[in-house]
Amino acid sequence: MEYLRIGEVAKAVGVSPDTLRRWEVEGRVTFERRGNQRVLPADRLSELKASLAPTQRGTSARNHFEGIVVAVTKDGVMAQVELACGDYRVVSLMSREAAEELGLEPGVPATAVVKATSVMVQASS
């Protein structure tokens, strides 16, 4: 049986090895251990990629942080939205109109979609 190391899986899926380690803790992926290496049977790669498709649909961004809105500060035009995503705090600036259309307010589940230095917020369903 052929195995892929975590770095190879990360490259194939389009995320970092740290993201895969976090997903393993969250139960989203299960790696086998070969010595000190995390490996995935090669025949399970397509299954992993398929399980990510709904999360990544409609965007080229590969980093998604699911969380809860903890604060929304609005002024006349802009809104600052703060999410608690596990151990991470993510803050996004967007138009007030976008925040209102997404129904973003404290307690609402949401996903921060991160690419480069931009943070977009996608409402969770």
CATH code, domain with 77 = 2.40.50.100
Last residue in a domain, options 56, 72, 94: 56
Last residue in a domain, options 12, 28, 56: 56
- 75 and 49 share one domain: no
- 49 and 69 share one domain: no
- What pTM, to 2 d.p., does this model score? 0.49
Task: Name the strand (E) or helix (H) holding 51.
Answer: helix 45-56
- 51 and 67 share one domain: no
- 47 and 73 share one domain: no
Beta strands in the chain (DSSP E): 3-5, 32-34, 37-41, 63-74, 78-85, 88-95, 109-115, 118-123
Cβ atoms of residues 31 and 86 within 8 Å: no
* Distance from C-alpha of 44 to C-alpha of 9, rounded to nearest angstrom: 10
CATH number of the domain residue 22 falls in: 1.10.1660.10
- Which residues, 6 or more positions from 88, have their beta carbon under 8 angstroms from its beta carbon? 65, 67
* Distance from C-alpha of 29 to C-alpha of 75, rounded to nearest angstrom: 41
Domain assignment of residue 40, given as a range: 3-56
Cβ atoms of residues 90 and 82 within 8 Å: yes
Q: How many domains does the chain have?
A: 2
pLDDT (tens, 9 = 90+) of the chain, 125 residues, equals 899 999 998 888 878 888 899 889 988 899 999 999 999 999 998 888 877 755 545 566 667 888 899 999 999 999 999 999 888 899 999 999 999 999 999 998 898 888 766 667 888 87
